[in-house]
A and B are shown apart, each in its own frame.
Chain A
């Protein structure tokens, strides 16, 4: 296949629609007779609702109906029906199921009115009486309740830690070099620009069209059909544009349930949007406490890796992440003990947030490695090269490809690492202590079965579609590139469509697996289309009867047989001769399991950071970050760079800014707005460099795609923390690092 577009820096095909405002989001679809919902959230974390007073709210002109647990229509009885594609083991939360309150901010009532403003005002008049029970929301204060996570379907993509190897505790005691400590980070919330919203169009009895903010239109469709007892074909879910999600759209949020419930009950169109505060009333990155104990021999070779973690979950689901498995994937050690436990708290179930588990777990790993390198008197890069491996020791399988050494080399060169003085507090600029640190990142390259359809029309246009998602990730663009190359067509004639449950099946889009999964599906559909084109050629043109698929080049919109005696045929001619003036093929893109299973497949990164720390105030400025990424084939260096830059900014955020602050007396988050939930502003971001170290990996998939959604973030926080240590001599293990930690 000629690669004319794959690997080229092509601007986002949906860019103009987004910047001109023609791209519509879930709350922007205006339909006649729309009713507006507004949710009331609980103000206690644990207990029962004794009384909800609706009198005042009901009297407001324009209020049509108010729902609470007392009057909501019944939905599916079985917990199983509420389990979406990303549901962890347990019983999914059902809004307004009964009078029990299981977390602070839980939706407990919804006003439906003729206008948004009326609904919002009426909601403010609702008063609630509770019988509050003691609530436990502080992870550190509830470690005694830590236990093994329950296993379920989610364990397939998130396997538990591997069994212990050797005797890690004994090896640690005996090791001449020891490092480690206790690491804690609190809750973080996703906060994409677009808050959650659903517009439900009531088309007919039991037939809905739903515009939803989601990372999986089929996931939403399945959930709605199962919960409300509708037929799949009668639930169409559309989400062509999503204003960021970062994992929060992997599960249906409560606005979906409530808006569909009201639409079906009231037999009308309903829109429900969540406000920014309410974006803090469902999933989040869980608070996690981790301890590491690493030991190395006198030469710096790792002898013992111990990494234990306790993460928060809710009282109703066991949300898990891969937190502790990473260390021994990257660093070989004869003695390893990895433990992962959950402590249930009176909080909403956590959920996947960009690089879930990876960003969490690699933080202690890379800081502990940095500490060991420092103790060994070795350069941190040298130390990592000494403990380098091309084999994943947790499975005993080799990596399908791993250009991490090259990442170290190229990033170090770009950064100027060779000039580093290893001594902490050895560099300064005026009042600022300057530090250089580095870290490694890793994220598994996954792939899941996905379907796509390719349709060629007589006007010479190709449309490829799949029910997958683009939440700013560039799916529209890279899939069009793959299809254009596969069919030998100009990109101008290729359109990729997504975000519609009527389209061929795609699972939720996350875990960095969409490019590989959907890209493979697009290739499969294009291959299917090529076969049909040949078949059509054979049926209309005798010359083609003996021509095989392998003997044809599909270029410039033509079938060009290698046998020059056979005349080329234009796709348009074949489409014109077909029924409906088009030829289409729908195919499944399967992971090449037989090849894949023999290898561990992962993307890697090396991050180098420079910080300035004010010696009096502890204010940290990340002046430079260089990330080198080895993630297989980079389909589009422009959109890929944007994605990595986003990850790096998030890394700065996670290291220094983001934190959902809770008042544990009431189990309530207190900084639930973007003024007080600090993400970086422009003034926080300085020089960022991205290097792609390409890998030619035919094991992951034909196209060599590993995925880049998460890898940009993993490793950035520890690189910054290590740079801060180098600047100040202070080892700060908790996140985010605040100025008072360094005063």
Chain B
């Protein structure tokens, strides 16, 4: 870890101004990922701009349209256990609580969760090539040990997966990311926030240098009746997903009127396939339809040497999770 200077910002605008003058600065909030990256000599900021002291960003507030605004500095644990989140967006609460450990969730912020970096073994080991860490150096995971890597949307340049659980639910819930920068504010639909690797895997998302996530908006109607989050991994807790799935339905008169299926642990971003969700609409909830939806979602999936099983695992998990979502209390 290198030496760095530290400054605490009072407002998002001030933070944006400071960082826009220093390409080697980094924001810090919970620090649960950044500090690790610094210890591993992956992130080497020469300045840390502390966002923790910006007032108001840690709040969770109701929106006029009955949606919910999650402050970027609200901790993952406080978010998951917030009464309004539990009542209206239980899918999100379950997803958050499936991630990390109690200690990490107490520290990690909502904004930081969106910005966490991949856990690809090669990204984390600076002795190996990695296009995400060092553009142009190559992807060692592609032909290396890749059990944890992507089966969808990857490229020859990068097979990393985005590790968040929370974001899988946010994707399913059609959240919006509110962003503030030196030049003003903007909103990014959740499904456009993270990127696929293509030939620029160093870019995890579409946030510009200098922009700050101030909050995440959840639209009204939290799909809180028929939902389920399923996470499959190599141990029961404190392990990243091999495959995770956020599923939610709105049912009316025995038919599916809205379907959301988002996958984690399979791609460079939470994975949603509109075609599959549309396919389920106006159908009776049934295993056969879910199986067909699973096939549509996994269309184009490619297995690598150690992770090909994830394709079949994901299909089975989609079907199971759809069935569970029909009876979430069971």
Within 238-289 of B, Cβ neighbours of A (below 8 Å) are at 238-239, 242
Measured in the bound complex, the distance between the Cα atoms of B129 and A666 in whole Å is 12
Are A681 and B232 interface neighbours, CB within 8 A? no
Measured in the bound complex, the distance between the Cα atoms of B140 and A738 in whole Å is 23
Are B236 and A683 interface neighbours, CB within 8 A? yes
Contacts known (A663-B145, A671-B121, A681-B237); A121 close to B232, Cβ less than 8 A:
no
Are A676 and B121 interface neighbours, CB within 8 A? yes
Nearest chain A CB to B316 CB, angstrom units: 4
Are A666 and B128 interface neighbours, CB within 8 A? yes
Measured in the bound complex, the distance between the Cα atoms of B242 and A684 in whole Å is 17
Are B144 and A670 interface neighbours, CB within 8 A? yes
The answer, yes or no, to whether B317 is at the interface (CB within 8 Å) is yes
Are A657 and B41 interface neighbours, CB within 8 A? no
Partner of B232, one of A619, A663, A678, A683: A619
Chain A residues closer than 8 Å to B232, beta-carbon distance: 617, 619, 739
Measured in the bound complex, the distance between the Cα atoms of B316 and A743 in whole Å is 10
The answer, yes or no, to whether B3 is at the interface (CB within 8 Å) is yes
Nearest chain B CB to A96 CB, angstrom units: 19
Within 289-315 of B, Cβ neighbours of A (below 8 Å) are at 309, 312-313
Within 311-329 of B, Cβ neighbours of A (below 8 Å) are at 312-313, 316-317, 320
Nearest chain A CB to B108 CB, angstrom units: 14
Residue of B nearest to A41 (CB): B127
Are B128 and A668 interface neighbours, CB within 8 A? yes
The answer, yes or no, to whether B229 is at the interface (CB within 8 Å) is no
The answer, yes or no, to whether A682 is at the interface (CB within 8 Å) is yes
Within 615-672 of A, Cβ neighbours of B (below 8 Å) are at 616-617, 619, 621, 657, 661-663, 665-666, 668, 670-671
The answer, yes or no, to whether A182 is at the interface (CB within 8 Å) is no
Secondary structure call for the B interface: loop
Contacts known (A670-B145, A681-B235); A743 close to B127, Cβ less than 8 A:
no
The answer, yes or no, to whether B208 is at the interface (CB within 8 Å) is no
Residue of A nearest to B101 (CB): A681
Within 127-179 of B, Cβ neighbours of A (below 8 Å) are at 127-128, 140, 143-145, 147
Are B316 and A617 interface neighbours, CB within 8 A? yes
Partner of A668, one of B127, B147, B239, B316: B127
Contacts known (A670-B121, A680-B235, A743-B312); A121 close to B2, Cβ less than 8 A:
yes
Nearest chain B CB to A700 CB, angstrom units: 38
The answer, yes or no, to whether A341 is at the interface (CB within 8 Å) is no
Partner of B140, one of A663, A676, A678: A663
The answer, yes or no, to whether B1 is at the interface (CB within 8 Å) is yes
Nearest chain B CB to A548 CB, angstrom units: 63
Contacts known (A668-B128, A670-B145, A678-B239); A743 close to B121, Cβ less than 8 A:
no
The answer, yes or no, to whether A117 is at the interface (CB within 8 Å) is yes
Chain B residues closer than 8 Å to A670, beta-carbon distance: 121-122, 125, 144-145
Chain B residues closer than 8 Å to A616, beta-carbon distance: 316-317, 320
Chain B residues closer than 8 Å to A592, beta-carbon distance: none
Nearest chain B CB to A238 CB, angstrom units: 30
Interface 0/1 of A249-271, CB less than 8 Å to B: 00000000000000000000000
Measured in the bound complex, the distance between the Cα atoms of B234 and A154 in whole Å is 37
Residue of B nearest to A684 (CB): B236
Chain B residues closer than 8 Å to A657, beta-carbon distance: 234-235
Measured in the bound complex, the distance between the Cα atoms of B266 and A79 in whole Å is 51
Residue of B nearest to A619 (CB): B232
Chain A residues closer than 8 Å to B53, beta-carbon distance: none
Chain A residues closer than 8 Å to B317, beta-carbon distance: 616-617
Measured in the bound complex, the distance between the Cα atoms of B145 and A734 in whole Å is 18
The answer, yes or no, to whether A675 is at the interface (CB within 8 Å) is yes
Nearest chain A CB to B180 CB, angstrom units: 32
Residue of A nearest to B308 (CB): A740
Measured in the bound complex, the distance between the Cα atoms of B238 and A657 in whole Å is 13
Contacts known (A616-B316, A743-B312); A661 close to B145, Cβ less than 8 A:
yes
Contacts known (A121-B1, A661-B145, A670-B125); A675 close to B238, Cβ less than 8 A:
yes
Interface 0/1 of A351-394, CB less than 8 Å to B: 00000000000000000000000000000000000000000000
Are B121 and A683 interface neighbours, CB within 8 A? no
Are A683 and B237 interface neighbours, CB within 8 A? yes
Contacts known (A661-B145, A743-B312); A738 close to B125, Cβ less than 8 A:
no
Nearest chain A CB to B308 CB, angstrom units: 9
Partner of A738, one of B122, B234, B236: B234
The answer, yes or no, to whether B82 is at the interface (CB within 8 Å) is no
Chain B residues closer than 8 Å to A743, beta-carbon distance: 309, 312-313, 316
Contacts known (A43-B127, A121-B3); A684 close to B235, Cβ less than 8 A:
yes
Nearest chain A CB to B323 CB, angstrom units: 10
Nearest chain A CB to B313 CB, angstrom units: 6
Contacts known (A657-B235, A675-B238); A124 close to B316, Cβ less than 8 A:
no
The answer, yes or no, to whether A465 is at the interface (CB within 8 Å) is no
Partner of B2, one of A43, A124, A665: A124
Chain B residues closer than 8 Å to A617, beta-carbon distance: 232, 313, 316-317, 320
Partner of A120, one of B1, B140, B237: B1
Chain B residues closer than 8 Å to A678, beta-carbon distance: 234-235, 239
The answer, yes or no, to whether B119 is at the interface (CB within 8 Å) is yes
Are B313 and A740 interface neighbours, CB within 8 A? yes
Measured in the bound complex, the distance between the Cα atoms of B143 and A431 in whole Å is 35
Residue of A nearest to B100 (CB): A675
Measured in the bound complex, the distance between the Cα atoms of B119 and A124 in whole Å is 21
Chain B residues closer than 8 Å to A121, beta-carbon distance: 1-3
Nearest chain B CB to A637 CB, angstrom units: 29
Interface 0/1 of B1-30, CB less than 8 Å to A: 111000000000000000000000000000
Measured in the bound complex, the distance between the Cα atoms of B241 and A619 in whole Å is 13
Nearest chain B CB to A49 CB, angstrom units: 14
Chain B residues closer than 8 Å to A117, beta-carbon distance: 1
Best-surrounded residue of A120, A663, A739 (most CB of chain B within 10 A): A663
Chain A residues closer than 8 Å to B238, beta-carbon distance: 675, 681
Chain B residues closer than 8 Å to A661, beta-carbon distance: 121, 145, 147
Measured in the bound complex, the distance between the Cα atoms of B2 and A670 in whole Å is 24
Chain B residues closer than 8 Å to A739, beta-carbon distance: 232, 234, 242, 313
Chain B residues closer than 8 Å to A740, beta-carbon distance: 309, 313
Measured in the bound complex, the distance between the Cα atoms of B237 and A621 in whole Å is 12
Partner of A676, one of B3, B119, B309, B316: B119
Measured in the bound complex, the distance between the Cα atoms of B145 and A676 in whole Å is 13
Measured in the bound complex, the distance between the Cα atoms of B140 and A666 in whole Å is 10
Within 670-700 of A, Cβ neighbours of B (below 8 Å) are at 670-671, 673, 675-676, 678, 680-684
Nearest chain A CB to B117 CB, angstrom units: 13
Chain A residues closer than 8 Å to B140, beta-carbon distance: 663
Chain A residues closer than 8 Å to B234, beta-carbon distance: 657, 678, 738-739
Residue of A nearest to B236 (CB): A683
Measured in the bound complex, the distance between the Cα atoms of B236 and A684 in whole Å is 6
Chain A residues closer than 8 Å to B2, beta-carbon distance: 121, 124
Measured in the bound complex, the distance between the Cα atoms of B125 and A684 in whole Å is 28
Nearest chain A CB to B190 CB, angstrom units: 26
Are A124 and B144 interface neighbours, CB within 8 A? no
Residue of B nearest to A616 (CB): B316
Cross-chain pairs A/B with CB under 8 angstroms, 13 sampled: A124-B41, A619-B232, A661-B145, A662-B145, A663-B128, A670-B122, A670-B144, A678-B239, A684-B235, A684-B237, A739-B242, A740-B309, A740-B313
Q: Give the B-binding residues of A (Cβ under 8 A).
A: 43, 117, 120-121, 124, 431, 616-617, 619, 621, 657, 661-663, 665-666, 668, 670-671, 673, 675-676, 678, 680-684, 738-740, 743
9 more CB-based (< 8 A) A-B contacts, given A666-B128, A675-B239: A121-B1, A431-B320, A617-B316, A668-B127, A675-B238, A678-B239, A739-B234, A740-B309, A740-B313
9 A-B pairs with least C-beta separation: A43-B127, A740-B309, A683-B236, A670-B121, A683-B237, A616-B316, A681-B237, A678-B235, A663-B144
